[in-house]
Structure 1
Amino acid sequence: MLRLSRYLLVFLFFRCFDLLASTELKVVRGNENYSPYEISGADGELYGLHIDLVKLAAKNAGYDISFNSMPWKRAIRDVQTGAADAIIYISRNPEREKYLYFLDENQISEVRFHFLVNVKDKKEIQFSGDIDTVLKDRTLLVQRGFSYGATVDKPEYSKHEVTTADQLVSMISRERAKVGIMNIYGFNYIYGEQNNVVALPTPVKTNKIYIAFSKKSSSLATAKKFAQALKSLKGTAEYNAIVMRYLGGIAEPADGSGK
């Protein structure tokens, strides 16, 4: 009887430990600034639309959360192996669905890519959905490591890679290139006062962006609990204040219906 009681105490101790440990979420992300979504301040503190929304949803769901910034390939590996519980700023595709839980309600933003041109070329270069009219005889400036969708990524279109958004915008501003492509919200957030580079009005590609949960170290129940907390946030004063802070009322992240 005494031995049974000891086993019971040990079981309860470790069960309680597991329950406490499960309240912490380890979230990985790429180690760059992705304005206005994920930004590292001078003190190293992260902020931005994704960061603030995920922090608030985690708090409301009863989770402690920690962010770890690292090269993107390592972040992907960590959620594949279970070294991390979740990953942010990730789009959905069949390959990733093999090791990640994607739920519609866990969509945290929507990225819209637009062509950028020098204001002097605005009349010459126009886009209404036919990519050939823009790229057939021109070289497109792109950021290294970004995918802009199968149509734009086609090898028959000439491309020149740059490392940063600053390089991309600067080259168009100085007329070193005719056309580039960039997320419109990032462009407006960083370069809103840049008056000689403009975004063509029609979006080229729209991506839904998620917080996705590792099938190795997390659970569908955790993903659903977080999704419920995030869904409950949308439309509240706190949610609208975060959106206004980073998107300036340009547009909200998608309502969750559904690199």
Structure 2
Amino acid sequence: MRLLLLLFYYIFVSISEASDKLVKIATLHDYEPFCFSKEFGVEIIPPGKDSKYLKGYSWEIVRQSYHKMGYTIELNILPWPRALEFVKEGKVNLLFPAGKNSARQKIFHYSKEYVNEAKFLIYTLKNKSINWKGVKSLKGMNIAVKKDYNYGELFNDADYFNKISVNNISQGFKMLFANRVDGFAGYEKNWDYIISKEGNASNFKKYPYFGATYEYVVGNINDSLVIRLINVFDQGKRHIDFSGVTLKTQKEWFQNVDYM
């Protein structure tokens, strides 16, 4: 009887420890080369394993940071608007990668360690030209933007040009090529990656950065579990930085990409 009770106790402890080291994370599916997948879905990914569907630099950084700390990841691959709703409603603990703006900082707690960096800039056709003096140069123009993306306060709040939402990066470049918009606001690494992969980079040119943001792991600002799980990410990220894993991952994803 005593042996049976001990067995139940150890099973209970093992289950409790396993559930204590589970983090529920949401991310998007169409953010090459940071996060991308051909399918939506939910996966359970224990330490040492990888997603069957999600690929990308930012996923590698988050996965390896949590796995370094012994955590299993419940990964939710979703459209970005739905991923935002999931974390706001507490259906998942965390969301990545998210940039900072004043609206988000009112509701999200941010990791101290960043996942990746996004630099904002405008693309036009090669044979078109903007007398570039910053965002104000876009006055009166039609500018394509990726739906629900953050471009920084200056661009987000500007009301002197038209913002035309697109569902994906390829769609935005097709509209630009067809002269349906005057420019396309983008994130340099991601937009360059897509047009380089699609082989049409030579049709476009880009202008100086009008802003940039680091992107982070975030969660509900009022949830104590979220704050603890983000602290775990920060610790894991510092471990992989120190061990050289982050640098190795950067080389794997960016060294051989032919950027504009």
TM-score (norm 1): 0.79
Alpha-carbon distance between aligned partners in 1 of 2:252 and 2:194, rounded to the nearest angstrom: 13
Number of the residue aligned with 1:39: 36
Number of the residue aligned with 1:125: 130
**CA distances 1:170-223 after superposition (whole Å, capped 9, x unpaired):** 2223333321111100122111242011221x1122122111244537243332
Number of the residue aligned with 1:256: none
Q: Which amino acid aligns with 2:83?
A: A
What is the deviation of 1:41?
Answer: 4.6
Number of the residue aligned with 2:46: none
What is the deviation of 1:160?
Answer: 2.2
What is the deviation of 1:108?
Answer: 0.1
**Higher deviation after alignment, 75-84 or 51-60:** 75-84
Higher relative contact order (CA 8 A, sep 6+): 1
Q: Which amino acid aligns with 2:34?
A: Y
Q: Which amino acid aligns with 1:227?
A: D
Is the counterpart of residue 157 in structure 1 residue 161 in structure 2? yes
Alpha-carbon distance between aligned partners in 1 of 2:155 and 2:66, rounded to the nearest angstrom: 36
User: Structure 1 residues 89, 103: closer, same or farther in 2, change over 3 A?
Assistant: closer
Number of the residue aligned with 1:137: 140
User: Structure 1 residues 144, 41: closer, same or farther in 2, change over 3 A?
Assistant: closer
Is the counterpart of residue 187 in structure 1 residue 191 in structure 2? yes
Q: Which amino acid aligns with 1:208?
A: Y
Preserved CA contact (<8 Å) 1:83 1:217:
no
Alpha-carbon distance between aligned partners in 1 of 2:163 and 2:68, rounded to the nearest angstrom: 44
Alpha-carbon distance between aligned partners in 1 of 2:130 and 2:185, rounded to the nearest angstrom: 13
Number of the residue aligned with 1:210: 216
Q: Which amino acid aligns with 2:31?
A: Y
User: Structure 1 residues 20, 159: closer, same or farther in 2, change over 3 A?
Assistant: closer
User: Structure 1 residues 46, 140: closer, same or farther in 2, change over 3 A?
Assistant: same
Alpha-carbon distance between aligned partners in 1 of 2:104 and 2:13, rounded to the nearest angstrom: 31
Alpha-carbon distance between aligned partners in 2 of 1:176 and 1:222, rounded to the nearest angstrom: 45
Is the counterpart of residue 224 in structure 1 residue 231 in structure 2? yes
User: Structure 1 residues 241, 9: closer, same or farther in 2, change over 3 A?
Assistant: closer
Structure 1 unaligned segments of length 5 or more: list them: 1-5, 251-259
Find the partner of 1:57 among 59, 65, 79. Answer: 65
Alpha-carbon distance between aligned partners in 1 of 2:171 and 2:105, rounded to the nearest angstrom: 33
In the comparison of the two structures, how many residue pairs are matched?
A: 238
Q: Which amino acid aligns with 2:178?
A: R
Alpha-carbon distance between aligned partners in 1 of 2:95 and 2:254, rounded to the nearest angstrom: 22
What is the deviation of 1:14?
Answer: 5.1
TM-score (norm 2): 0.78
Is the counterpart of residue 110 in structure 1 residue 117 in structure 2? yes
Preserved CA contact (<8 Å) 1:140 1:179:
yes
Alpha-carbon distance between aligned partners in 1 of 2:103 and 2:130, rounded to the nearest angstrom: 36
**CA distances 1:148-181 after superposition (whole Å, capped 9, x unpaired):** 2232232222222222211211222333332111
Alpha-carbon distance between aligned partners in 2 of 1:127 and 1:247, rounded to the nearest angstrom: 28
User: Structure 1 residues 91, 163: closer, same or farther in 2, change over 3 A?
Assistant: same
User: Structure 1 residues 159, 83: closer, same or farther in 2, change over 3 A?
Assistant: closer
SS in 2 for 1:104: coil
Preserved CA contact (<8 Å) 1:25 1:63:
yes
Is the counterpart of residue 244 in structure 1 residue 251 in structure 2? yes
